[in-house]
């Protein structure tokens, strides 16, 4: 009842956290599956297959972290370029 629905999208932290959690889980699962498929396709040893799964999971988490940090910072990197 006391919720304010007039929050600007750039200040709505709940929506940003939900989007980042969804993005992180999705990229973790998809890249782990891609690593597992590549491991089954290219490697014979179980250790190297698990290593390819771990590499895929790390790439997925890293890309999700990078996108989420840009979402929370609000693209300050492109606006911080000095103009002459």
Q: What is the 8-class DSSP label of residue 45?
A: S
Return d(Cα 30, Cα 19) in angstroms, integer: 16
What pTM was computed for the model?
Answer: 0.72
Residue by residue, DSSP assigns 17-33 as HHHHHHHHHHHHHHHHH
Domain boundaries, the chain: 22-71
Q: What is the 8-class DSSP label of residue 74?
A: T
Q: Burial, 23: exposed, middle or buried (Cβ in 10 Å; 0-12, 13-18, 19+)?
A: middle
3-state class of 38 per DSSP?
A: helix
Q: What is the pLDDT of residues 57-82, one digit of tens each?
A: 999 999 999 999 998 887 555 445 45
Q: What is the pLDDT of residues 53-62, one digit of tens each?
A: 999 999 999 9
């Amino acid at each position: 009842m006391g919720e304010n629905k007039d929050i600007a999208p750039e200040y709505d932290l709940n929506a940003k956290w939900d989007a980042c959690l969804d993005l992180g889980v999705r990229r973790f699962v998809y890249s782990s599956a891609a690593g597992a498929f590549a491991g089954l396709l290219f490697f014979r040893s179980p250790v190297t297959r698990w290593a390819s799964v771990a590499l895929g999971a790390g790439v997925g988490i890293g890309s999700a972290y990078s996108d989420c940090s840009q979402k929370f910072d609000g693209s300050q990197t492109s606006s911080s370029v000095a103009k002459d």
